Structure 1
Amino acid sequence: MAATELKAQARTGVGKGAARALRREGLIPAVIYGDKKPPLPVSISYNEALKRIYAGGFLSHVITLDVDGEKHKVIPRDYQLDPVKDKPLHVDFLRVGAGARINVQVAVHFVGEDKSPGIKRGGVLNIVHHTLELSCPADAIPEQVTVDLAGLDIGDPIHLDAVQLPTGVQLHGHEIDPTVATIVAPSGMRAEEAEAGAAESAAPAGETKE
């Protein structure tokens, strides 16, 4: 995942009043923390923050934050939005040290629908995990985790152990082998199977021949 650059300015004012003053200037407050260094209050462009947050993947991209000419390698860790207008109000950046590993949420991407017998028969892809939390080298965060549906039929689950993760990337979390998705029967097929089962149960038992 290629690093991108974002301009920032060091700031001295803190508190609600200072934050409101920044927003009137088209900026929002942010802070850089971590890597055993003191927090650094900064401000960034409101428009840039808005664009990057809504472009997707904001919290899984390492970026270079240029603070008045001094460059910091960081990853966005959290952001605050206005609860009514959904406008960015604040961003937290985590410093990324050399050789660091970080935990990130990475999107799951599905391919091979045209080669899945289950989907060809009308099955529906039921996605259990749209993202996975992975432990990755900070300089090698995958853009996505790709899951191939080729050869899968209705009722087949897709477990993470069947998915090839990039070298050095590991699942982070409590589930050892989570189900990423399943291919389920369409509602019409499920209804027909249920009716057939009910009819079979209700049918009178046949006479036993002597």
Structure 2
Amino acid sequence: MAGEIPDLHAQERTGTGKGAARQARRDGMVPGIVFGGDVDPLPIQIKFNDLLKRLHKGRFKSTLFNLKVDGHDDVRVICRDVQRDVVKDLPTHFDLMRLRRTSKINIFIPVEFVGEEDSPGLDRGGVLTVIRPEIELIVTAGDIPEKVTVDLSKLDIGEGVSISDVTLPAGAKPTIDRDFAICSISAPSALASAEDEMDGDEVEETEVIEQNAETVEGEKEHAEE
């Protein structure tokens, strides 16, 4: 499992319709609905500030949550939509979907880098640049991997790891079709500067012909011809 699934606390709404939704907003709540799972939709509401913090944190729509509502069993959900005010761009409503263990979802999985102590590039002073500390994968809700492991033990300076180089957990695949970079090892700034200076010191070699009486005489004869 990808770490501990975060809890999402909500309250059940007693009323439905536009009037109940407006009342929820006046009370500092954001109305929402939980659907799916072969059971009736459940109208809920979440504190406005709590939802806003989660939205600012990012990836609210690609995070698996453990929904906790008083009087109901906990259920795993994922956000399917957040409606916003067209002027203020603030959340006004949200939709959550219940998940079965076989449901396919998009979720970000953290990357763990191993083998740093054996990397020839890092041993020579190279610098590891992490391009993607997380990778968005399509996985089943009941079999979410804890991490994706990237081996650095054979990487030298100037080399990197792409998604095609990584063995993904069974049943998981990237949401991006193209091959993309995850990390690379670059030369340390001191070494790169030294190489640049060496390149700048290279002078193009030219052939120098010593001018003497014989070469000058030969040039005159060639000109007269």
Structure number with greater Rg is 2
Distance 1:78 1:106 in 2: 21
Gaps of at least 5 residues in structure 2 are: 209-225
**C-alpha displacement at 1:139, in angstroms?**
1.2
Structure 1 residue 7 displacement after superposition: 4.1
CA contact (8 A) 1:60 1:141 kept: no
CA RMSD of aligned residues (A): 3.8
Report if aligned partners of 1:78, 1:93 keep a CA contact under 8 Å in 2.
yes
Task: Provide closer, same or farther for how the CA distance between residues 60 and 39 of structure 1 changes in structure 2, counting only shifts above 3 A.
Answer: same
Alignment of 1:125-204 (within 5 A): 125-175=128-178, 177-200=179-202, 202-204=203-205
Q: Return the structure number with greater strand share.
A: 1
Q: Secondary structure at the match of 1:188?
A: helix
2:207, 2:38 → 1: CA distance? Answer: 79
Shift of 1:66: 3.0
Moved more, 130-139 or 1-10: 1-10
TM (normalized to structure 2)? Answer: 0.67
Paired with 2:75 and 2:34, the residues of 1 have a C-alpha distance of 9
For normalisation by structure 1, the TM-score amounts to: 0.71
- Which whole-Å CA distance do the structure 1 matches of 2:83 and 2:29 have between them? 14
In the TM superposition, what whole-angstrom CA distance separates every residue of 1:75-127 from its partner, at most 9, and x where no partner exists? 23455799xxx997654422213421112222323233333232233322222
- Work out whether residues 62 and 138 of structure 1, in 8 Å CA contact, stay in contact via their aligned partners in 2: no
1:34 deviates by: 4.8
Structure 2 matches for 1:1-210, cutoff 5 A? Answer: 1=1, 3=5, 5=7, 6-10=9-13, 11-14=15-18, 18=21, 21-22=23-24, 25=27, 27-34=29-36, 40-46=42-48, 49=51, 59-66=62-69, 68-69=71-72, 71-77=74-80, 91-175=94-178, 177-200=179-202, 202-205=203-206
Equivalenced residues, count: 202
d(CA) in 2 for partners of 1:205 and 1:131?
A: 54
Gapped regions of structure 1 (runs ≥ 5):
none
